[in-house]
Amino acid sequence: MTGQILAGARVATLDSVQSYGLIDRGAVVVSGGRVDWVGPECELPGRVSGWPRRNLGGRLVTPGLIDCHTHLVYGGSRAREFEMRLTGASYEEISRSGGGIMSTVQATRGLSLEDLVASALPRLDALIAEGVTTLEIKSGYGMDLDTELRMLKAARQLGERRPVRVVTSFLGAHAIPDEFRDRSDAYIDTICLPALEAAHEAGLADAVDGFCEGIAFSPSQIDRVFARARQLGLPVKLHADQLSDLGGAALASRHAALSADHLEYVSESGVKAMAKAGTVAVLLPGAYYTLREPVAPPVSAFRDHGVPMAVATDANPGSSPIHSILTILNMACTLFRLTPEEALAGVTCHAAAALGFRDRGRIRAGCLADLAVWDLDHPRELACRIGPNPLVERISGIGS
């Protein structure tokens, strides 16, 4: 099979622990939607010598970016809450008075499948325009069976409407709906678990997520949801230790979770449990920034214990109304003190691991040929600025 040679590139493979896996004067050979070969241009194998060749003029090539935590499908706006927080109300106070996630639930329940897709497309386009080739989209603003399934269908349709790979997570345990106030166990039994089963049956859920927090679900409730998910063969992940330490990271690790996300308040023992379970830490600087959290996640503990750190937008209408993965890269460095290399690994190879993929997030023979080409000299420039979009093009193996 004949493919294509992308030559004259500075290739940040992210396939080595040092210096971005950078290859100066590199080439990537792409065939059948996969990377066939990558290395210095002067070492191109003879078998591809007659293949069509494109010169990228010294531009930077990275793996296509992966946004491993988004709530991209939703209805309504939370701008009013933004104003309320500016005059002193906290995220938790707004949530306890019926606003927050529940106000988005009301707006989302009122939208048809077509409206959910149409309203999410501009947000998706903004991520694609910055080099995203795979993203995760959660349900969690339905809190009833029909709307949860409709959100997941909308997520699947987004992946059909645009050249991007969409992975879905069922987030039925996100907030306690008003009709179940003080009856959260009944919500888990009569809505969340049946909706999880229906989503699985319909092939709409690739993973199962939850929100373990004082304003959401307790560790024992999440435990029940995860036990069912694992019986169904679905991987799990958790919004854990975001606003307080309820032992969420350890709970996620006990279920061999793909990731634990947020983690501002995770304990050292939680970090150790993650290291042992191979659970990825997904850092969400957009929510930390928007909510002006006083505590940052313990990045040095993750480093010390060898827990891989992914970075994601958490794009949602309330706690992280940010649809720019490049801005998030900058925030991961500025707010959490990640190095630019850690931040880029966070939206490529470690984001892939957070979604359970080994076939993307690095430029390596056999991996998907999902690439981003940038008008930049060095990968560190991706994280150090906010503003003009340096993306030249995405080269995606989708559809090949």
Q: Is 183 helix (H, G, I), strand (E, B) or coil?
A: coil
239 lies in the binding site for ligand NIG (CB under 6 A): yes
177 lies in the binding site for ligand NIG (CB under 6 A): no
Buried/exposed code over 211-230 (b: 16+ C-beta within 10 A; e: otherwise):
bbbebbbbbebbbbbbebbe
Minimum CB distance to ligand NIG, residue 57 (Å):
40
323 lies in the binding site for ligand NIG (CB under 6 A): no
* Interface with ligand NIG (CB under 6 A), residue from 101, 315, 353, 395: 101
Q: CB within 8 A of 47, min separation 6: which ones?
A: none
237 lies in the binding site for ligand NIG (CB under 6 A): no
Between 62 and 316, name the residue whose CB sits nearer to ligand NIG: 316
Minimum CB distance to Fe ion, residue 256 (Å):
20
Place of tokens 């957070």: 354
Q: Tokens at residue 62, please? A: 């990275």
Using an 8 Å Cβ cutoff, are 102 and 363 in contact? no
Size (the chain), residues: 400
Q: What is the DSSP string of 105-174?
A: HHHHHT--HHHHHHHHHHHHHHHHTTTEEEEEEE--S--SHHHHHHHHHHHHHHHHHTTSEEEEEEEEES
* Interface with ligand NIG (CB under 6 A), residue from 100, 177, 379, 390: 100
290 lies in the binding site for ligand NIG (CB under 6 A): no
Residue in the shown chain whose Cβ atom is closest to ligand NIG: 318
* Residue 242 interface partner, choices Fe ion, ligand NIG, none, CB cut-off 5-8 Å depending on type: ligand NIG
Question: Using CB under 5 A as the criterion, which residues of the chain lie in contact with Fe ion when the complex forms?
Answer: 314
For strand 34-40 and strand 22-31, is the pairing parallel, antiparallel, or unpaired? Answer: antiparallel
Minimum CB distance to ligand NIG, residue 140 (Å):
7
Q: CB within 8 A of 146, min separation 6: which ones?
A: none
* Interface with ligand NIG (CB under 6 A), residue from 20, 37, 187, 211: 211
Between 205 and 212, name the residue whose CB sits nearer to ligand NIG: 212
Q: What is the DSSP string of 198-229?
A: HHHHTT--SEEEEEESTTSB-HHHHHHHHHHH
In the region spanning residues 342 to 381, those forming contacts with ligand NIG, defined by CB under 6 A, are none
71 lies in the binding site for ligand NIG (CB under 6 A): yes
Stretch that binds ligand NIG, among 18-26, 48-56, 98-106, 346-354 (CB under 6 A): 98-106
147 lies in the binding site for ligand NIG (CB under 6 A): no
314 lies in the binding site for ligand NIG (CB under 6 A): yes
Q: Tokens at residue 6, please? A: 């992308």
* Residue 134 interface partner, choices Fe ion, ligand NIG, none, CB cut-off 5-8 Å depending on type: none
Using an 8 Å Cβ cutoff, are 398 and 33 in contact? yes
Minimum CB distance to Fe ion, residue 366 (Å):
32
Between 59 and 69, name the residue whose CB sits nearer to Fe ion: 69
Q: Is 18 helix (H, G, I), strand (E, B) or coil?
A: coil
Using an 8 Å Cβ cutoff, are 13 and 23 in contact? yes
Stretch that binds ligand NIG, among 108-116, 252-260, 318-326, 359-367 (CB under 6 A): 318-326
What is the rounded CA–CA span in Å between residue 172 and residue 143? 6
Q: CB within 8 A of 40, min separation 6: which ones?
A: 23, 24, 25, 26, 27
Q: Tokens at residue 230, please? A: 């694992």
* Residue 348 interface partner, choices Fe ion, ligand NIG, none, CB cut-off 5-8 Å depending on type: none
Minimum CB distance to ligand NIG, residue 368 (Å):
27
* Residue 21 interface partner, choices Fe ion, ligand NIG, none, CB cut-off 5-8 Å depending on type: none
Looking at the DSSP assignment, which residues form a beta bridge with residue 38? 28
Between 213 and 314, name the residue whose CB sits nearer to Fe ion: 314
* Residue 319 interface partner, choices ligand NIG, Fe ion, none, CB cut-off 5-8 Å depending on type: ligand NIG
- Interface positions with ligand NIG (CB under 6 A): 71, 100-101, 104, 211, 239, 242, 287, 314, 316-320
